[in-house]
Chain A
Amino acid sequence: MILCLATSFSSDKVVIRVGAKHFTEGYILSEMLSQILEAKGFAVERKFNLGGTLVCFEALRNSEIDIYPEYTGTIAREILRLDNDLPFEQLDSVLNQKLGVRISRPYGFNNTYSLVVNPSVKLKTISDLKDHPDLKAGISYEFLKRQDGWDALAKTYGLSQQPVGLEHGLAYQALIENRIDVTDCYSTDGEIAVNNLVVLRDDKTFFPKYEAVSFYSAELQDEIVKEIDKLASSITESEMSEMNAAAIYGKKSFEVIANEFLLQKKIINIKYQMSNTEGDFVSKIVQHLILTFTALILAIIVAVPLGLWLYSRSQISNIILYIAGLLQTIPSIALLAVMIPLFGIGALPAIVALFLYAILPILRNTVNGLRNVDPLLKEVAASLGMSRMQALRFVEWPLAVPTILTGIRIAAVINVGTATLAAFIGAGGLGEYIVTGLALNNTEMILKGAIPAAILALVIEFIFEVIERKALPAHLRKR
């Protein structure tokens, strides 16, 4: 059933699956690739919102996606774990031999990492930071963890600031409001010029070159590779910065930004048709409900019979309930991350994660509902000559049903909420608005996902209340 669902999104003809890194520039570049391919008549599936480098690369290597834009420095340092840069051709052949992936010719701009500060602190180079240990550093989570990230940088420059971690999309807001004094940035970030921020010069040339390239599976057909190569040497650093700024401040969608650029450069000549966002919205709700309820139904199928088996075995049941409780304490985003190496990206790992979350409330309420049946009634059942199965069928089960239904309702509501996070591993649903909105620092888009998700939770809560009232034993209803 899970497999059916996971594959039902793909059709028989060749579909090129384009991934995107989870930030403004990633969306714009991936949208360009998609539109170039669509202009040539290829079918494209956009698998945007794939989190950071790790999620994207795992997806590429496991053939969950065929292509996504990446940066040479990131490939060398993060993926190949090299200490120095390689020339382009050498990098391509190493990737091809070792990992079965390739890179296209660079798009033309270098989006290096750097550090950025407010003009008021009057610093020019990264070395200047050394003399200001009291400045507050707020660093993106990815940069904190990277090999070419904060630790190595601080060591090279002898920096003593203790950074706090935060989401890259929110770091500029914090910087502008002076809540932090310095953060990491991509040199093409749209926020820099608009807010007159100062990019610190990398005076010890710590950072490698981060040239944007298409990162794709070596199995991709030549005719497709030829199409995406049209982006080679076509985007300058300032053009990229402007596009990023337009996405953040110009209130333009990245589809339109990508399209206008491609038209202007005469790479394609088809004007982008704004897709029907109503239909898109509905399909996201449908995806969301499919994720939630597939996981819920599977959890019911597993947890209710397990509860029936467990309730009279108190020792084993305590152990199993404890394990199910532990699962519940794993942060959702961590559980989703664990799913990627096991199940790849998309609906399947999300459903597995949601299934694991739904197990506990249903299992616990099944066990407790059955255990809490009045012992006098159990004694009477035995005295009437009922077998164990008959006592369960005629007495214990019907009296436990309301409690079990409450457990299912709790699981459903938890799942509706947690399913928003499934967008981080490309499972779709309302979470896509939230994840995209976070990346673009676009509150309106975040709310477009968050409010319907909250309403959905309320509606499900209400529907279950009605079901529970209907299923309540008649004696409790009539009073």
Chain B
Amino acid sequence: MTEVDVIGLSNYYGDLLALDNVSVAFGKEKITAIIGRSGSGKSTLLKSINGLIQPSSGKVVVAGHSLDYNNINPHRHRIGYVVQGNGLFPHLTVAENISLPGKISHLQSSHGLHRLRVAAGGARSGRSGVDPSRVNDLLTFTGLPSAYADKYPLQLSGGEQQRVAICRALYLNPPVLLMDEPFASLDTLTRRDLHQKMLELRRTYKLTMIIVTHDVSEATRLADDLLVLERGRVQQFGSREEVISKPANPFVKDLLEAHLN
């Protein structure tokens, strides 16, 4: 069963071919790690999935729906997105940051722009789309004290900020979570701890997660499936065990060996 399907995706930046006819069916409720060197097209593929990048050709299907680039926002509300360096809004408190997606989707649906139905167990938003108990639950789940709700992002450590960013991405209870190098700037202990949280998350929320990372050991520790990209082309896509035991080509073999030994 698949949740996210990428079909024949190609993308040009000017003359540069960033993605070359990429087709991948990401497994439902699985964690897939996209690995590869810098410039291999990892981030471009991820941004294509939530429509931040509109591909030159090919299509993206999420939960059976093709992306509609003329009305992309309801789609984005169904996808959580976490970036490297967390992207928290410095002028908003932790609680305001976390609940902002609720406020946005509420404003858009109450304006009659979209009908948005959040999955059962999601934010039971009141009139403003902001639900303090949902914020509290998420803080607790990611291991942050409730008192942090009124703090500002810059008063928190890097690891704490990244937890807040994850809370924000989960606020609308999306079925899909995209993460672009989410742990790159964190120390090893914090990183291990967050890896554990991610595995718990998947179990609790039945999430389909796609994580872009340049860290192959992180990928093998966290992911069910591995997708290896190089120069915009799929080198290998398969289960973790399969990719590690049977690298499809010398490039995949080198990439794994360089990191795992």
Contact = CB atoms under 8 A, between A and B. Distances in A.
Interface of A: 376-377, 379-380, 382-387, 390, 394-395, 398-399, 473-476, 478-479
Given A385-B73, A385-B77, A385-B101, A475 B50 contact: no
Contact of A385 (B76, B89, B152, B153): B76
B107 interface: yes
Contact of B108 (A382, A387, A473): A387
A379 B100 contact: no
A474 B152 contact: yes
Contacts of A379: 52, 83, 87
B85 interface: yes
Nearest to A397: B91
A385 B52 contact: no
A390 B46 CA distance: 23
Contact of A377 (B75, B89, B101): B89
10 contacts: A376-B83, A379-B52, A380-B87, A384-B100, A385-B105, A387-B73, A390-B108, A395-B89, A475-B155, A476-B90
Nearest to B101: A384
Nearest to A395: B89
B154 interface: yes
A376 B52 contact: no
Interface residues of B, number: 29
B163 to A, nearest CB: 16
Given A385-B77, A475-B152, A475-B155, A376 B105 contact: no
Contacts of B77: 385
Contacts of B73: 385-387
Contacts of B91: 398-399, 473-475
Contacts of A382: 52, 76
Contacts of A473: 90-91
B17 interface: no
Interface in B60-90: 72-77, 79, 81, 83, 85, 87, 89-90
Nearest to B79: A383
Given A384-B76, A387-B73, A399-B91, A479 B104 contact: no
A382 to B, nearest CB: 6
A385 B104 contact: yes
A476 B92 CA distance: 11
B76 A383 contact: yes
Given A383-B52, A394-B103, A473-B90, 18 more contacts: A379-B87, A383-B50, A383-B81, A384-B104, A384-B168, A385-B73, A385-B74, A385-B104, A385-B108, A386-B73, A394-B100, A398-B91, A399-B90, A399-B91, A473-B91, A474-B91, A474-B93, A475-B91
Interface of B is mostly: helix
B104 A478 contact: no
Contact of B154 (A384, A386, A398, A479): A479
Contacts of A399: 89-91
A479 B153 CA distance: 12
A382 B77 CA distance: 10
Nearest to A393: B107
Contacts of A380: 81, 83, 87, 89
A399 B92 CA distance: 10
B166 to A, nearest CB: 13
Contacts of B90: 399, 473, 475-476
B87 A475 contact: no
Contacts of A390: 104, 107-108
Given A385-B77, A386-B73, A478 B152 contact: yes
A41 B98 CA distance: 74
A384 B73 CA distance: 8
Interface in B88-124: 89-91, 93, 100-101, 103-105, 107-108
For the complex of A and B, the 9 pairs showing the least CB-CB separation, nearest first, are: A385-B76, A475-B152, A380-B87, A473-B91, A385-B73, A383-B81, A385-B77, A398-B91, A475-B90
B251 to A, nearest CB: 30
B153 A377 contact: no
Contacts of B75: 385
Contacts of B104: 384-386, 390, 394
B116 to A, nearest CB: 9
A386 B108 CA distance: 9
Contacts of B107: 390
Nearest to A389: B107
Contacts of B85: 376
Contacts of A474: 91, 93, 152
A408 B100 CA distance: 30
A161 to B, nearest CB: 66
A472 to B, nearest CB: 9
A469 to B, nearest CB: 15
A377 B52 contact: no
B101 to A, nearest CB: 5
A384 B50 CA distance: 10
Nearest to B78: A385
A474 B154 CA distance: 11
A383 B81 CA distance: 7
A103 B90 CA distance: 71
A326 B77 CA distance: 46
Contacts of A476: 90
